[in-house]
């Protein structure tokens, strides 16, 4: 046979050989492939050193450190790596001398962070067995955790509360093992029925491969089992123990070593528990795993270490056999999709982990029977992703949309660098959630602020956050838009809704989940949740929430589950009710039927599911009324607040409610139950705890407050209160107003941001007809609320409170300010004539009273601004010059003077009176500069050329107004003007950004069809046309209706801007031609 040389003269395609020479004449050495951490799909945790030794001995091949890519330097675990079949396995053990739930959770946390592709997790080791008449168990047998109708496979026996009678009541629910492992267990059970287990064979293989282990890990040969056992029983156990049995059932876990029969029996009295151990409870929620325990003792006084090694080996042998049952392709299917290098590049600068925000967190035991829906989300986002990766989870209230989403997010959190849960119930709440991301993004980017120079400019922060999420390296995020229940999309028009796509990153390279009650939202893969399909699933929820055994066979429970028709939230409410009272399932059903009859007779609820929910809550409320009447009254009051961020200080601010409600009959206004509950934090928390016990509220750990499910919140107002209670409404108004700052202190914006949701609740349509107090002293309450609504851009609310006060009084404190606020609100809402009338009244009042002259000049400026924007330029110049003359003696950085200069300068620019504009704007620039210097801002050098001067003044004005007030009509006007200026200089990138900000700001303040918004859109469209980007320009023109285009032409003509009018005419003509 000829020897083939490696110097093959035949041409061939170069390839990388699995061997190499270190020098020309050195022998060939094998070159091992370096394994990535993403190549590992099995996570394996042990507690003790002999558990780890037995586990490593079961590997087909063990890798060395040189075979593995470098890990995370902050990971404290010491890993061992190997292979069983084709499965790559990573193992870790607890630190020496540290045992229990906390230590196990710490090890699992680091493993999940370092190995993000783990699909199958195992906890392998020893435990104490629990024998019973039903279970013949011997030392060396194996117990495998298996879910039941009530538990997920593992019970934390030391988590709960001690009842007044001294009994201990367990609380909480631990998650199930992953479905892939449960399927493998079932397959292996069938194999064992046919052929028997391979545990002994795997033990023999271990002894042959590692002879030193023979003496330590063999079957001990001496039996020590619980007495009393006869000698014949001992012999039978000894004979049988050579082939370990496998038992499937519940495993109890806690932080104590159990060596007492009495303690063991106490732990096992509530369920069919087969094993007791110390680590599993720390893993199940985050490191979802199958627990495999070899029995080394029976948790009694005869506990010893003699059987520990052998028991560890039998557990490891079973684990090896289980992994061999799972096809490699099944384990890798999901991981390969996750690890597409083109779409999943992780960098530490983007890893924020799981951030739930204020999303309502339901109990894990509600997650029942949604495996198919969970699989559908996994298919959409992980297994078979399509770009963009967007899943729409739709369903009626109470179906478990949020719970399903949180379960997916928690289960797969190690597959994403960041998971952000956002409140999409309204534009304001969604913006607030997105701005909240800035805190984390700033830390991840080395502390760099996401806002412009620290200014509280929401539009700027939003733009930067969305750009940050679009950065190429930031491609492993998951955004959850929760409660998008009022969509305004093509085919789903709503005057109160919004288009959620405006708040997507420009490049959707991560994944998006949207939960909504509307199945018409079709901007991704629709996953429509319906009631639970099987009766047993409803019974499972009843059993878990009521903590009662035998539910699956209880005729009363079966009747109740059928009546509640598979609605998860109703089943949970019923279970919670039955957990705290002795009623039978049939007695609860009788109460439910009575409540149902009342709901049908007194409400107009269109959906059967809604009536079901309301009936269950009515039953629970009747129970609370009996056992805690003050808490029941407080629940009525919560209907008048937002359902998120319910905190103690909201009801007891620094200015007490008595001070805020300045009435002689305040004792009659504020009921005794309210005074008692809010008299101390302890009493407040006690009342909320009672509401929590019946699933009306939940604790929001992140904000240290309470929250309420949106369906429960709707019920409190629509059903529980019936007719709106004016006393409770006034209490909510007073509570809110008492927290509002009376001046623009540094914390003003953060305070009104936190109170925004509660303010929106006061504007609910059910409360619009309520009047305000007739007491003059209470005007300050409504003025504070009107200011808040005005500053938040909720002009309907500001208008409502202003009018309600002004219609009831001829003269009162804050009168001229109320007219100014009313004028601003009316102008924003497009009622220009009424806005002018209101401001004229404000000028009359401010001019007639002895007050600071700035009050009058502020009124002049507000009216002048309206004149400028409406094109009444002569009137505008007259009133603004009058204002400027009136405050001429004031300092150059006086707010009234700066306002007059800014508006007058803008007027002259619009009239193309360049020299006068330059003189005014130079003064404005100097004043703004002085104001900025007083605020420790950096100086901006003054330039001499006209365009440069205008630009500098615009930038200074923009910076100042942002610092002073954030997004306002003045800010938007400056952004629009500056955008036009930069467009003239062909600085298109900067111009586009400013015009986009102006459009967004005007849309938020005035609405999408206001002429200010339309005018800015026109400017941006013409900017695109200058750049030759006709498609982008046409996309913007299409968002402007034909009627608005005609109005825009008329506006430009009235202002003498013929070129602008002609540009719009050309667009109209082109669209008509294309349409023809």
Q: How far is CA 414 from CA 352, 852, 1000, in A?
A: 11, 61, 35
User: Residue 12 pLDDT more than 70?
Assistant: no
Q: Report the pLDDT value the prediction gives residue 660, as an integer from 0 to 100.
A: 47
Mean pLDDT to the nearest integer, 925-949: 42
Residue 56 forms part of a structural domain: yes
For residue 233, how many other CB atoms are within 10 A of its CB?
A: 12
Q: In this predicted model, what pLDDT tens digit does every residue of 1021-1075 receive, in sequence order?
A: 888 888 888 888 888 888 888 888 888 888 777 666 777 788 888 888 888 887 6
Q: Report the pLDDT value the prediction gives residue 644, as an integer from 0 to 100.
A: 84
Q: Report the pLDDT value the prediction gives residue 604, as an integer from 0 to 100.
A: 57
Same domain, 225 and 254: yes
Residue 364: CATH number of its domain: 3.40.50
User: Residue 735 pLDDT more than 60?
Assistant: yes
User: Residue 718 pLDDT more than 50?
Assistant: yes
Q: Which long-range contacts (CB under 8 A, 24 or more apart) does 26-35 make?
A: 32/66, 32/67, 33/67, 34/67, 34/68, 34/69, 35/63, 35/67, 35/68, 35/69, 35/81, 35/88
* Closest to 387 (Cα-Cα) out of 278, 524, 259: 524
Task: Tell me which residue has tokens 């407040």.
Answer: 684
All residues at 6 or more sequence positions from 233 whose CB lies less than 8 Å from its CB, including other chains: none
Task: Tell me which residue has tokens 């490593």.
Answer: 56
Which range in 198-207, 851-860, 915-924, 1024-1033 is most confidently predicted, on average pLDDT? 198-207
| Final residue belonging to a domain, choices 578, 606, 627 | 627
Which residue did the predictor score with more confidence, 377 or 710? 377
* Closest to 752 (Cα-Cα) out of 432, 455, 481, 459: 432
Q: How would residue 481 be classed by pLDDT, with cut points 50, 70 and 90? A: very high
Same domain, 426 and 369: yes
Residues 572, 545 contacting (CB under 8 angstroms) = yes
Same domain, 293 and 344: no
The rounded distance, in Å, linking the Cα atoms of 480 and 789 is 28
User: Residue 443 pLDDT more than 80?
Assistant: no
Residue 676 forms part of a structural domain: no
Q: In this predicted model, what pLDDT tens digit does every residue of 769-780 receive, in sequence order?
A: 565 555 555 677
Same domain, 492 and 421: yes
The rounded distance, in Å, linking the Cα atoms of 748 and 770 is 28
Q: How would residue 412 be classed by pLDDT, with cut points 50, 70 and 90? A: confident
Q: Tell me the sheet residues that pair with 292.
A: 124, 144
Same domain, 245 and 204: yes
As a whole number of Å, the CA-based R_g of the chain is: 35
Which residues form the domain of 614? 535-627
Q: What is the mean pLDDT of the chain?
A: 76
Same domain, 493 and 612: no
Q: Report the pLDDT value the prediction gives residue 332, as an integer from 0 to 100.
A: 54
Q: Report the pLDDT value the prediction gives residue 635, as an integer from 0 to 100.
A: 92
Mean pLDDT to the nearest integer, 15-41: 49
Range 895-919 burial, b when 16+ CB lie within 10 A, else e: bbbbbbbbbbbbbbbbbeeeeebbe
936: left (phi over 0), alpha (psi -120 to 50) or beta: left
Q: How would residue 654 be classed by pLDDT, with cut points 50, 70 and 90? A: very low
Q: How would residue 7 be classed by pLDDT, with cut points 50, 70 and 90? A: very low
Residue 894 forms part of a structural domain: no
Q: In this predicted model, what pLDDT tens digit does every residue of 292-334 receive, in sequence order?
A: 999 998 887 677 788 999 999 999 999 999 999 988 766 655 4
Q: Report the pLDDT value the prediction gives residue 995, as an integer from 0 to 100.
A: 86
Mean pLDDT to the nearest integer, 444-454: 47
Phi, psi of 62 (to 5 degrees): -110, 130
Same domain, 46 and 146: yes
Which range in 581-585, 598-602, 609-613, 1057-1061 is most confidently predicted, on average pLDDT? 581-585
User: Residue 335 pLDDT more than 80?
Assistant: no
Q: How would residue 965 be classed by pLDDT, with cut points 50, 70 and 90? A: very low
Q: How would residue 661 be classed by pLDDT, with cut points 50, 70 and 90? A: very low
Same domain, 264 and 388: no
Q: Report the pLDDT value the prediction gives residue 330, as an integer from 0 to 100.
A: 63
Q: Report the pLDDT value the prediction gives residue 21, as an integer from 0 to 100.
A: 33
The rounded distance, in Å, linking the Cα atoms of 950 and 921 is 7
Residue 394 forms part of a structural domain: yes
Which residue did the predictor score with more confidence, 498 or 286? 498
| Final residue belonging to a domain, choices 274, 300, 335 | 335
Same domain, 436 and 407: yes
Q: Report the pLDDT value the prediction gives residue 239, as an integer from 0 to 100.
A: 54
* Closest to 524 (Cα-Cα) out of 511, 534, 506, 540: 511
| Final residue belonging to a domain, choices 574, 593, 627 | 627
Of the listed ranges 81-90, 733-742, 819-828, 944-953, the one predicted with least confidence: 944-953
Same domain, 440 and 568: no
Same domain, 330 and 432: no
Residue 246 forms part of a structural domain: yes
Percent of the chain scoring above 90 in pLDDT: 12
Which range in 339-343, 450-454, 1053-1057 is most confidently predicted, on average pLDDT? 1053-1057
Residue 289: CATH number of its domain: 3.40.50.1580
Angle at 720 between CA 715 and CA 724, to 5 degrees: 100
Range 821-839 burial, b when 16+ CB lie within 10 A, else e: bbbbbbbbbebbebbbebb
Q: What tokens appear for 64 in the block?
A: 């060395």
Residue 444 forms part of a structural domain: yes
Residue 189 forms part of a structural domain: yes
Residue 433 forms part of a structural domain: yes
Same domain, 318 and 360: no
Tally of domains within the chain: 3
């Amino acid at each position: 046979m000829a020897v083939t040389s490696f110097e093959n003269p035949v041409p061939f395609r170069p390839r990388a050989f699995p061997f190499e020479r270190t020098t020309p004449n050195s022998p060939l050495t094998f070159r091992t492939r370096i394994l990535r951490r993403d190549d590992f799909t099995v996570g394996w945790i042990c507690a003790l050193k002999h558990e780890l030794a037995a586990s490593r001995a079961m590997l087909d091949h063990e890798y060395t450190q040189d075979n593995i890519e470098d890990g995370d330097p902050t990971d404290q675990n010491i890993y061992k790596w190997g292979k069983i079949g084709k499965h790559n396995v990573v193992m870790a053990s607890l630190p020496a001398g540290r045992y229990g739930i906390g230590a196990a959770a710490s090890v699992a946390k680091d493993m999940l962070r370092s190995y993000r592709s783990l699909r199958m997790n195992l906890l392998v080791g020893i435990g104490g067995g629990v024998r019973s008449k039903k279970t013949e168990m011997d030392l060396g047998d194996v117990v495998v955790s298996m879910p039941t109708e009530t538990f997920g496979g593992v019970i934390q026996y030391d988590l709960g509360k001690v009842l007044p009678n001294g009994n201990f009541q367990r609380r909480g629910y631990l998650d199930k093992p992953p479905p892939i492992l449960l399927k493998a267990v079932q397959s292996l059970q069938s194999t064992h029925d046919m052929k028997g287990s391979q545990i002994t064979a795997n033990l023999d293989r271990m002894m042959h491969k590692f002879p030193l282990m023979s003496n330590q890990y063999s079957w001990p040969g001496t039996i020590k089992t619980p007495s009393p056992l006869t000698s014949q029983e001992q012999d039978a156990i000894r004979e049988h123990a050579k082939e370990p049995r496998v038992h499937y059932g519940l495993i109890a876990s806690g932080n104590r070593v159990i060596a007492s029969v009495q303690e063991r029996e106490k732990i096992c009295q509530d369920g069919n528990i087969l094993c007791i151990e110390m680590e599993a409870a720390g893993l199940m929620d985050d490191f979802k795993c199958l627990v495999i325990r070899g029995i080394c003792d029976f948790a009694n006084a005869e506990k010893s270490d003699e059987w520990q090694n052998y028991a560890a080996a039998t557990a490891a042998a079973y684990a090896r056999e289980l992994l061999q049952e799972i096809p490699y392709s099944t384990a890798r299917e999901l991981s390969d999709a996750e690890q597409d290098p083109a779409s999943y590049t992780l960098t530490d600068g983007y890893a924020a982990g799981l951030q739930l925000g204020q999303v309502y967190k339901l109990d894990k035991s509600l997650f029942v029977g949604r495996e198919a829906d969970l699989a559908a989300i996994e298919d959409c986002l992980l297994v078979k992703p399509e770009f963009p990766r967007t899943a729409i989870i739709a369903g009626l209230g109470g179906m478990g949309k949020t719970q399903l989403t949180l379960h997916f997010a928690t289960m797969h959190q190690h597959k994403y660098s960041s998971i952000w849960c956002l409140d999409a119930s309204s534009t304001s709440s969604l913006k607030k959630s997105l701005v909240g991301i800035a805190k984390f993004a700033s830390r991840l980017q080395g502390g760099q602020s996401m806002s412009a120079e620290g200014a509280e400019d929401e539009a700027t922060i939003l733009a930067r956050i969305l750009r940050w999420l679009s950065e190429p390296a930031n491609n492993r995020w998951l955004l959850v838009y929760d409660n998008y229940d009022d969509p305004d999309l093509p085919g789903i028009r709503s005057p109160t809704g919004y288009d959620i796509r405006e708040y997507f990153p420009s490049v959707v390279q991560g994944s998006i989940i949207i939960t909504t009650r509307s199945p018409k939202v079709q901007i991704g893969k629709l996953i429509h949740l319906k009631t639970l399909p099987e009766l047993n699933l409803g019974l499972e929820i009843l059993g878990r929430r009521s903590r009662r055994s035998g539910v699956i066979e209880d005729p009363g429970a079966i009747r109740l589950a059928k009546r509640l028709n598979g609605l998860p939230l109703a089943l949970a409410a019923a279970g919670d009710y039955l957990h705290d009272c002795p009623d039978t399932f049939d007695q609860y059903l009788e109460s439910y039927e009575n409540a149902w009859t009342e709901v049908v007779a007194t409400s107009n609820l269109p959906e059967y599911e809604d009536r079901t929910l309301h009936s269950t809550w009515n039953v629970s409320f009747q129970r609370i009324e009996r056992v805690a009447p003050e808490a029941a009254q407080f629940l009525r009051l919560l209907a008048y607040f937002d359902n998120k961020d319910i905190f103690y200080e909201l009801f007891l601010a620094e200015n007490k409610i008595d001070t805020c409600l300045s009435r002689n009959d305040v004792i009659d206004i504020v009921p005794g139950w309210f005074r008692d509950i809010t008299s101390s934090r302890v009493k407040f928390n006690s009342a909320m705890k009672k509401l929590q016990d019946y699933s009306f509220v939940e604790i929001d750990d992140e904000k240290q407050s309470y929250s309420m499910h949106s369906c429960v919140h709707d019920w409190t107002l629509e059903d529980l209160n019936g007719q709106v209670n004016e006393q409770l409404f006034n209490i909510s108004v007073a509570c809110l107003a008492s927290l509002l700052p009376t001046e623009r202190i540094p914390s003003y914006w953060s305070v009104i941001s936190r109170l925004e949701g509660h303010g929106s609740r006061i504007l609910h349509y059910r409360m619009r007809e309520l009047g305000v107090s007739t007491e003059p002293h209470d005007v300050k309450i409504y003025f504070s609320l009107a200011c808040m609504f005005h500053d938040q851009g909720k002009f309907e609310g500001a208008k409502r409170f202003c009018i309600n006060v002004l219609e009831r009084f001829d003269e009162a404190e804050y009168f001229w300010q109320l007219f100014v606020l009313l004028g601003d609100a009316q102008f924003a809402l497009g009622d220009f004539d009424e806005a002018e009338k209101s401001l004229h009244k404000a000028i009359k009042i401010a001019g007639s009273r002895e007050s600071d002259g700035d009050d009058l000049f502020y009124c002049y400026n507000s009216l002048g601004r309206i004149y400028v924007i409406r094109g009444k330029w002569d009137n505008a110049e007259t009133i603004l010059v009058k204002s400027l003359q009136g405050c001429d003696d004031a300092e150059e950085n006086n707010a009234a003077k700066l306002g007059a200069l800014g508006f007058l300068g803008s007027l002259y620019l619009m009239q193309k009176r360049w020299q006068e504009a330059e003189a005014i704007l130079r003064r404005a620039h100097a004043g703004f500069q002085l104001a900025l210097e007083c605020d420790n801002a950096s100086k901006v050098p003054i330039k001499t050329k006209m365009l440069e001067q205008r630009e500098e003044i615009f930038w200074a004005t923009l910076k100042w107004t942002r610092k002073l007030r954030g997004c306002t009509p003045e800010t938007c006007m400056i952004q629009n003007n500056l955008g036009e200026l930069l467009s003239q200089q062909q600085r298109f990138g900067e111009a586009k950004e400013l015009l986009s900000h102006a459009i967004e700001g005007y849309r938020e303040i005035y609405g999408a069809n206001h002429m200010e918004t339309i005018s800015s859109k026109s400017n941006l469209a013409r900017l695109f046309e200058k750049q030759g980007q006709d498609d982008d320009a046409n996309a913007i023109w299409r968002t402007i209706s034909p009627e608005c285009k005609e109005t825009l032409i008329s506006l430009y003509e009235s202002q003498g801007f013929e070129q602008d009018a002609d540009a719009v005419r050309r667009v109209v003509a082109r669209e008509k031609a294309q349409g023809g």
